[in-house]
Amino acid sequence: MTIKYRKTIFVLLLLSMLVALVYLIPANMVIPVQNASVHDWNRDTFWYQPWGKSGVHKGIDIFATMNTPVLSASEGLVVYTGRLGIGGNVVAILGGRWRLHYYAHLQSVDVRAGQWLRAAEIIGRVGNSGNAKGKPPHLHYSLLSLLPRPWRFDGSVSQGWKKMFFLDPGHELTIQQGSTRIPLAIDKTE
Ligand SMILES: [Zn+2]
CA 79 – CA 70 distance, rounded (Å):
17
The answer to the question of residue 46 being in a domain is yes
List, for residues 111-122, the tens digit of each pLDDT value. Answer: 999 999 999 999
User: What is the gyration radius of the CA atoms in the chain, in angstroms?
Assistant: 18
The answer to the question of residue 137 being in a domain is yes
The answer to the question of residue 19 being in a domain is no
List, for residues 67-78, the tens digit of each pLDDT value. Answer: 999 999 999 999
- Give me the number of domains the chain comprises: 1
The answer to the question of residue 112 being in a domain is yes
Question: For position 57, what pLDDT does the model report?
Answer: 94
CA 184 – CA 31 distance, rounded (Å):
12
The answer to the question of residue 129 being in a domain is yes
42-46, 49-53, 107-111, 184-188, range with the lowest pLDDT = 184-188
Other CB atoms closer than 10 Å to residue 49's CB: what's the count?
Answer: 13
The answer to the question of residue 11 being in a domain is no
CATH of the domain at 170: 2.70.70.10
Show the domain range for 93: 26-177
Residue 69 CA to ligand 1 centre (angstroms): 17
The answer to the question of residue 8 being in a domain is no
Question: For position 3, what pLDDT does the model report?
Answer: 82
The answer to the question of residue 173 being in a domain is yes
The per-residue pLDDT of the chain, averaged, comes to 90
Residues with CB under 5 A from ligand 1 (ion): 61, 140
- What are the b/e assignments for 56-72, b being 16+ CB within 10 Å? bbbbbbbbbeeebbbbb
List, for residues 131-189, the tens digit of each pLDDT value. Answer: 999 999 999 999 999 999 999 999 999 999 999 999 999 999 988 654 444 444 444 33
Residue 117 CA to ligand 1 centre (angstroms): 23
Question: For position 176, what pLDDT does the model report?
Answer: 67
